[in-house]
Amino acid sequence: MEHPLDQLTRATLDHCVKCTICETACPVARVTPLFSGPKFVGPQAERFRNGESVDHSLDYCSSCGICTLSCPQGVKIAELNSQARAVMKADHMPVRDRLMTQTMLEGMVMSPVAPIANAALNNKPVRTIIEKVVGVHRDAPMPEANRETLQAWMKKRPAPTKPATKGPVVFFTGCAGGFFEVETSKKSIEVLEHLGYEVLVPKQGCCGLAEQSNGLFEQATKHVLKLCRQLQSAGKDLTIISASGSCVGMLKHEAHEIMGVDAEELHDVGTRSRDISEFLLELADEGELPLDFREMDITIPYHQPCQSKSQGMGAPAMHLLELIPGVTVAESGQPCCGIAGTYGLKKEKYEVAQAVGKPVFEHMKKHDHGVGACDTETCRWQIRKGSGVNTVHPVEILHYAYGLSDDLFTRRVGLRD
């Protein structure tokens, strides 16, 4: 499993001066004694590792990346933890962790029978059985399947009436954006077309993020490289845009920094990839984003996910929303909502995830005026379930502000129990 990047990441542990800033920033250590904290299971424990794990509390690390982001010495704490956990779980990978990472397959299976799948996932006895057999907590937030996938919508939608004056861009959907958060993908494409872009959506698979975060590096590497080739097939030198904040982070950062993937196709795709809010704010900074928004006169509670923070791009979604006349953004100020991809779904980690997310839920409820915003899919599912607030991707608010839709404040099915 070792690769050159392991050694480069490991070398950063000697930069640790034991200042404990990562300990105070860690959202998991803040709420449970089950996790020894990023300093102890990261650079401190790494000095004693020789291919074996020395601290099994490591598995309670949620891989949110806040420790690496906060470290003043540049220690790759989260990356060290993720690499060590992959080694720790290699010879006893739970069946649950193998199953729940197959997000593409789950979407393909659930979409044709969406009403039945959704009913089952909202049925308490069924969820109790799933918890006992599989290990996914009965109260954990679940995605809502759509009968119409994004690809099906693309095939039947009429051709855009507005000419593409700015050339083509590639849209990377992510598994959730193709099967579960389809509305976000639709509105992203329509906003980009409204701005004058031709949006190319090639056939694409999974980025392997869920596999990576569960220590399944070999499978994740195969998936991310296949995805890169699929995205490359749409054309060279084109900007790749995604509304799936965590998945674009896999292409830009995690596949290389955590798994050590050093393939040409990943470097090419990763350097061309942009989070949609990041891309739109770049346009605004260059004076190329039309600001003909409708006035909204509203305070919007917003939570920036840890996956977006870890990409080092600032807070583009918050600044974009503030360009809309009358909009005040109330940012949560919290490091993480607790879900961390699949972490908060697991029965042994559910209570920890809820405790981490509680300040976010309270913030969203306090400032709820009909809609809240968050950039990544699993975080929206966590916040909707935990707060009851109609939480959407920021691009859906921009879609509404541009006058492209009038349904922003309509609660979609599944937002409340």
Which pLDDT value is given to residue 295? Answer: 95
Which pLDDT value is given to residue 144? Answer: 92
Model confidence at 416, pLDDT cuts 50, 70, 90, reads very low
Which pLDDT value is given to residue 415? Answer: 36
- Mean pLDDT score, 198-212: 97
- Report whether pLDDT(42) > 90: no
**pLDDT per residue as tens digits for the range 357-378:** 999 999 999 999 999 999 999 9
Kindly write down the DSSP assignment for every residue of 309-332, as one continuous string: HTTT---HHHHHHTTSTTEEEEE-
Separation of alpha carbons 127 and 106, rounded Å: 16
Higher pLDDT, 391 or 7: 391
Would you say 56 and 206 are in contact if contact means Cβ atoms under 8 Å apart?
A: no
Which pLDDT value is given to residue 373? Answer: 98
Residue 362 CB-half CA count within 13 A = 8
Residue 88 CB-half CA count within 13 A = 21
Model confidence at 202, pLDDT cuts 50, 70, 90, reads very high
- Mean pLDDT over the full length of the chain: 93
**Paired strand residues for 372:** 391
Model confidence at 407, pLDDT cuts 50, 70, 90, reads confident
**pLDDT per residue as tens digits for the range 153-198:** 999 999 888 889 999 999 999 999 999 999 999 999 999 999 999 9
- Report whether pLDDT(1) > 50: no
Residue identified by tokens 């001066």 is: 17
- Using a 10 angstrom Cβ sphere, with 0-12 exposed, 13-18 middle and 19 or more buried, the burial of residue 392 is buried
Kindly write down the DSSP assignment for every residue of 193-210, as one continuous string: HHTTPEEE--------HH
Model confidence at 288, pLDDT cuts 50, 70, 90, reads very high
**pLDDT per residue as tens digits for the range 208-262:** 999 999 999 999 999 999 999 999 999 989 999 999 999 999 999 999 999 999 9
Would you say 13 and 42 are in contact if contact means Cβ atoms under 8 Å apart?
A: yes
What pTM, to 2 d.p., does this model score? 0.94
- Report whether pLDDT(291) > 50: yes
Kindly write down the DSSP assignment for every residue of 277-304, as one continuous string: HHHHHHHHHTT-S---PPP--EEEEEE-
Which pLDDT value is given to residue 4? Answer: 46
Model confidence at 275, pLDDT cuts 50, 70, 90, reads very high
**pLDDT per residue as tens digits for the range 51-65:** 556 667 899 999 999
Instruction: Kindly give, in sequence order, each residue whose CB lies less than 8 Å from that of residue 41, ignoring residues fewer than 6 positions away.
Output: 35, 55, 57, 58, 61, 81, 84
- Residue 260: which of 308, 217, 205, 209 has the closest Cα? 217
Which pLDDT value is given to residue 211? Answer: 97
Tally the residues of the chain.
Answer: 417
pLDDT above 90 covers a percentage of the chain that reads 84
Model confidence at 269, pLDDT cuts 50, 70, 90, reads very high
Count CB neighbours of 235 within 10 A. Answer: 12
Higher pLDDT, 297 or 417: 297
Kindly write down the DSSP assignment for every residue of 99-142, as one continuous string: HTT-HHHHHHHHGGGHHHHHHHHT-HHHHHHHHHHT-B-TTS--
- Report whether pLDDT(412) > 60: no
- Mean pLDDT score, 15-23: 94
Q: Of 88-97, 172-181, 230-239, 339-348, which range is least confident?
A: 88-97
Which pLDDT value is given to residue 413? Answer: 37
- Mean pLDDT score, 25-44: 93
